[in-house]
Structure 1
Amino acid sequence: MNLKKQLTKAFVLSWLSLLGFGVMALLVERNQIIHFDSRIISYIQGFEEPFLTTIMKSLSYIGGTIPVIVLSLLTIIFLYTVLKHRSELILFIAVIIGSNLLFVSLKLLFHRARPDLHRLAEATNYSFPSGHATMAFALYSSLTFLFWRHIAKRTGRVMLIIFAAFMILAIGISRIYLGVHYPSDIIAGYFISCFWLTLSIWIFQRYQERKNK
């Protein structure tokens, strides 16, 4: 696949993701997704048992602020000192900081209260969109994008995708299981993060193309 096709796909995916977020936001604003949210929460929390709760709390912690900051700093150090990727370093920082600013701003805009059906953990601030889901998608998807070309074997690349997908989905599900987010919060977090990630990659790739010319 040539660069032009990659840029086109990134651009289209970016705006489709923004459209997806817009649809979710509209449904939430009109209270037209409560039945969907309630059914999914009831289904996921139907698996509740002590050992699984411990696992879900661990996954939720991994998706929290401190672990995300630590992993981001380690990635920055690795990109700068080992791979010597200065431009990729800027891309990664832009994705992480931009995603964080987006979900914080949107929470303040929508003011959605957290679910109160069955809480297994405590959480502060507003619910929509999920910060854990937004940052998990931004972090693990950007790591996949940055490290993909450094893995020679197909098996390694497949494992990288599986790991990233597992972490993104598991962290999102953990927040639903613990009763601190609606499923629509998680989906919206994925959408807005995908929008920012793909838009950032599109800008980055266009910059690289012009630089190489």
Structure 2
Amino acid sequence: MKESPIRPFVAISLCILFGFAFAFIVTAILNGMITGFDRSIIDAVQGLEAPWLTTIMHTFSFIGSTKVVMLLIIAVTALLLWKFHVRSQAYFFFFAMIGTGILNQTLKFIFKRARPEFHRLAEVGGYSFPSGHTMMGFSLYALFAYLLWRHIKSTAGRVALVLFAIFMFGMIAVSRIYLGVHYPSDILGGMVASAFWLLFTILLFDQFQKRKKRGLVQD
């Protein structure tokens, strides 16, 4: 397997940056500093409400649901194991995705933020911060782009890959605001927490790959 495109120093620096960003978002939520930001974004997004758009948003919200994401995790892990025979990538992908879910539930339990009471177009239970759809969607499509990047040689192919990942994650995240089940700060917090976790797991994965290479162990 080729070397990761993310340098250790860059990954560590970004981990620290995302850690501070998450702490800032939490502080802003607890102090009520972000209320105006949340409400203005919600008003702007929900102001676009239309029957056809609601259908689209429900669809993307479903794509980011636990059931669909779990099916994708199983499918991608199986493909990496038995189709492409890259065990280390399969284990890395599975560990990173399951870890994202565990981290999300842990953070929800710690902060116990209630969901918005504004205009609702969907009914869900549980706590609001950070957004589970956002965290799982960010991890899923970021990992998808990360694992495929090194296998795509053309610039056009890499651009298409990144745009696809951004589009899928962005639509899932916006759908949760549109449907009235998350604050924008839930989305930001979820994205930052997921980015921190992914960079941490990538660092561990890269160290494992380097040790395996020194030991001349086959994948």
Q: Does 1:185 align with 2:186?
A: yes
Cα offset, 1:29, TM superposition: 1.4
2:84 matches 1:52: no
Equivalent position of 2:129 in the other structure = 128
Shift of 1:170: 0.8
Tell me how far apart the structure 1 counterparts of residues 117 and 151 of structure 2 sit (CA, whole Å): 45
Taking structure 1 as reference, are residues 204 and 126 closer, same or farther at Cα in structure 2, changes over 3 Å only? same
Q: Which residue of 1 aligns with 2:168?
A: 167
Measure the CA separation in 2 of the matches of 1:5 and 1:137: 17
The 3 A distance-change label for structure 1 pair 84 and 155 is same
**Residue 48 and residue 13 in structure 1: after superposition, are their counterparts in 2 closer, same or farther (change >3 A)?**
same
Query: What does residue 102 of structure 1 align with?
Result: 103
Match of 1:69 in 2: 70
The residue aligned with 1:205 is 206
CA spacing shift, 1:80–1:53, aligned 2, 3 Å: same
Moved more, 74-83 or 179-188: 74-83
Paired residue type of 1:173: V
The count of corresponding residues between Structure 1 and Structure 2 is 212
Q: Percent identical across equivalent pairs?
A: 43
Is the contact between residue 135 and residue 193 of structure 2 (CA under 8 Å) also seen in structure 1?
yes
Deviation at 1:15, TM superposition (A): 2.1
Contact 2:77 2:91 (C-alpha < 8 Å) held by counterparts: no
After TM superposition, the runs of 4+ consecutive aligned structure 1 residues lying more than 2 A away are 2-5
Q: CA deviation at 1:90?
A: 1.4
C-alpha deviation, 1:3, in angstroms: 6.4
Please report the TM-score for the alignment, with normalisation by the length of structure 1: 0.96
Amino acid aligned to 1:41? I
CA RMSD in angstroms, aligned pairs only:
1.4
| Unaligned runs of at least 5 residues, structure 2 | 215-219
Contact 1:7 1:206 (C-alpha < 8 Å) held by counterparts: no
Name the amino acid aligned to 1:6: R
Answer whether contact 1:99 1:138 (CA < 8 A) is retained. Answer: yes
- Measured after TM superposition, the shift of residue 4 of structure 1 is 9.7
